[in-house]
Structure 1
Amino acid sequence: MIRQLTESRPAELEPDATRVRFRHRQRTGPTPASAPARAAGSHRAEWADAAKGVCIILVVLWHVVVKDYLQIDWHIGVPVPGFWGTLGEQFLPLRMPLFFTISGVFAANAAQRPWRVVARSRIAGFLYLYAVWLLIHTVVLAAAPGLPTDRATSALGLLQQLTITPSNLWYLYALALYFTIAKATRRLPRALVLVPAAALSAVAAAGLLDTPGNRAGLYQNLVFFLAGLYLRPQIQRWAATASRRRLLLTSGGYVLALTAMAVTGAQQWFGVWPAVSVVAVIFGITAAARLSRWSALSRPLARLGRITLPIYVIHMPVLALLHRLLLVPVSGLGGSAQGLIVLGYPILLSGLVIGLSLAVHRGLLAVRAGWLFALPGTRRVEATG
């Protein structure tokens, strides 16, 4: 129903070294008036991390669906695989725009630091992680040539992914670029930065720019990162005052926008996709704020949202190896056996991929491979959520 604009996402996925959390400094001797403000800040931290947790789940689920699930030869006589594909498409305007908006909110303080600090801890840190994991992905994905995903198959292709056409890890590349832009333009009027970024998003979404690989996502999401960075107080207030009525209105608006775009075929009309993404982000912030009131669900999601980096960088190699292992056996099952697993397969495999990614992360840390998640010589920072 809605076209796929990006190859990866989460996306996603703040580095550990770069792992990004919403930190609020604790002050000694708080006055009674400051205590409620601090409590509100903590509340907002949980909704933002919970939103990140949902986003990383959607990233993994989308990759599971399009890169594994829809590649299986299902012979069950009912269109369940098509349902999963269509469902995943409905979250495309939400997933990465919301992720980058939250990243921008978390980046607001970091972007005010001196150039030398930002250049090393953020820009160089994200580029380092991108380069390291690009090499790892290139090697591992070569062992699973059947997985339909971007990969470098030559030295020139690898050079292109390192420089002008980012790979599935494009979120890390984008954060380095976005931090550079945010820092370089910090003294300009916000409208002079946001308006061109919005225009770039609209132009790219309308197909008016050449966007090989994952350049489309790179062009389209700058405006959301900057909006999160510039509008942090307004976003926090919106989340703090989210009501059930507002949730109903924003969710209805999102469904209406998706339906109208699909019925009219307006996905590539100039400005339509960014506008729908704005509606999606408003809904996402509202839903995350309301979700944070149910701690039994929001706390696990928030914990997941604080460790998005290892999931983001590890999940694709894990998925590639599982795809190679499962594709033929699952395709060869009889119709009855496939019928038992076809509906829950994407959920189960997504959970397995996330669990294995975190297990690999713990194993790497146990063997002192923390340099895979942080630029050596820098302390771990929480920069973008």
Structure 2
Amino acid sequence: MIQQLTGSRVAELPPDETRVRFRHRHQTGTTRTEGRSQRAEWADAAKGACIILVVLWHVVVKDYLQIDWHVGVPVPGLWGTLGEQFLPLRMPLFFTISGVFAANAAQRPWRVVARSRVAGFLYLYALWLLIHTAVLAAAPDLPTDRATSALGVLEQLTITPSNLWYLYALALYFTIAKAIRRAPWALVLVPAGVLSAVAAAGLLDTPGNRAGLYQNLVFFLAGLYLRPQIQRWAATASRRRLLLTSGAYVLALAAMALAGAQQWFGVWPAVSVVAVIFGITAAALLARWSALSKPLASLGRITLPIYVVHMPVLALLHRLLLVPVSELGPSAQGLIVLGYPVLLTGLVIGLSLAVHRGLLAVRAGWLFALPGPRRAEASR
């Protein structure tokens, strides 16, 4: 599960643009409002692309590769390999944009940050952890982290976050951002970068999703501290820069794979930095192509329901489809093996949004925001 930037105004977003964008309220229309800058549009588009990649990866790993394919061609393995190439991009980019939009929030009083960000994200994490635990019990064959006892739930609530770790991480990262907001950037980014490198190298015990928690703090803080530079980079994106950054990303991936350097100290964070630079450049250029950027940006503004609902939806679909698809003949499987992950990803996202709309229709908005006089929106 990464977030957004700005546009026609040179550096600053309107105050509301800095609020967390896991929006739970239904919005009529997806066109850019007058107050939304182009840079906010591209950042929303980047979020939309990232949430699609997150769901696609879960579809491939947790469902597609579990099917008994007998088609005589290595298409399933190719999908798995393709998904792995986006691992350094998805969450680092998401957290970088989250950090950019945390800049204004970190300046607010502790009581505001504690409720709207820290308590808000912890509430969503705990609530949906219980929901996931209950639903995933009905799909025991889905290969995913799950709590199977009260002690397991307690562990996921505290020290070993579940598949919902992005929410857990945002609560922790906002606390850190608020606490160190006046510290020089070097005193913050260097230790966070070292932590990322240590975790990626396997030098820390990282059960469950702790690795992601350790590795992505540096990207959130980079977005927080380097916001002006990130905005300028996006505003001046060019096709030449896209060619250079995409080439650098491909070369970095190839070099890491050929050398088997995924766990060499500092290599994975360095490749992720290259990936984020490429992602920002690509999203900024994409924002100039409204036919594609507008749907992605619209999706990027409602990432919370997709993020929290898609795993239970996928679990139930996996239980429904695993045996029938595995029992299809080679000819029938050959017709669907290539497009299956794309179709199932679209179905999972569509059903997740339908569930979201249905829950809002029955006044269950408390499932997507901390209840209270001022409902905290979930952040980008």
Fold conserved (TM > 0.5)?
A: yes
Matches within 5 A, 1:140-219: 140-219=135-214
2:69 maps to: 74
Deviation at 1:39, TM superposition (A): 8.1
2-side partners of 1:219 and 1:330: how far apart?
38
CA contact (8 A) 1:65 1:85 kept: yes
Deviation at 1:152, TM superposition (A): 0.1
Unaligned runs of 5+ residues in structure 1 are 1-9, 15-21, 27-37
The alpha-carbon distance between structure 1 residues 156 and 98, as it changes in their structure 2 partners (threshold 3 A), is same
Deviation at 1:207, TM superposition (A): 0.2
1:367 maps to: 362
Is 2:249 the partner of 1:254? Answer: yes
2-side partners of 1:344 and 1:68: how far apart?
14
1:24 maps to: 14
The alpha-carbon distance between structure 1 residues 40 and 369, as it changes in their structure 2 partners (threshold 3 A), is closer
CA contact (8 A) 2:120 2:369 kept: yes
1-side partners of 2:83 and 2:330: how far apart?
24
Matches within 5 A, 1:343-354: 343-354=338-349
Q: Which has the higher contact order (CA 8 A, sep 6+)?
A: 1
2-side partners of 1:229 and 1:338: how far apart?
47
Report Cα offsets for 1:57-109 as digits up to 9, x if no partner.
00000000000000000000000000000000000000000000011111111
1:241 maps to: 236
1:100 maps to: 95
Identity of aligned residues (%): 87
2-side partners of 1:56 and 1:23: how far apart?
23
CA contact (8 A) 2:121 2:378 kept: no
1:30 maps to: none
CA contact (8 A) 2:3 2:95 kept: no
Aligned residues: 357
CA contact (8 A) 2:3 2:44 kept: no
Is 2:312 the partner of 1:322? Answer: no
2-side partners of 1:281 and 1:340: how far apart?
35
1-side partners of 2:149 and 2:3: how far apart?
27
Normalising by the residue count of structure 1, what TM-score does the alignment of the two structures yield? 0.90
2:114 maps to: 119
CA contact (8 A) 2:3 2:97 kept: no
Q: What is the DSSP-based 3-state SS (H/G/I as helix, E as strand, rest coil) of the residue aligned with 1:209?
A: coil
1:331 maps to: 326
2-side partners of 1:292 and 1:383: how far apart?
23
CA contact (8 A) 1:318 1:357 kept: yes
1:7 maps to: none
Unaligned runs of 5+ residues in structure 2 are 5-11, 17-32
Is 2:41 the partner of 1:51? Answer: no
Partner amino acid for 2:354? A
Partner amino acid for 2:156? Q
Alignment match of 1:64 (pick from 56, 59, 63): 59
Alignment match of 2:85 (pick from 86, 90, 94): 90
1-side partners of 2:222 and 2:183: how far apart?
14
Report Cα offsets for 1:191-243 as digits up to 9, x if no partner.
11111000000000000000000000000000000000111111010000000
Root mean square deviation, CA, Å: 1.7
The alpha-carbon distance between structure 1 residues 41 and 136, as it changes in their structure 2 partners (threshold 3 A), is closer
CA contact (8 A) 1:102 1:384 kept: no
Deviation at 1:263, TM superposition (A): 0.3
CA contact (8 A) 2:234 2:281 kept: yes
Deviation at 1:157, TM superposition (A): 0.5
More deviation, 280-289/186-195: 186-195
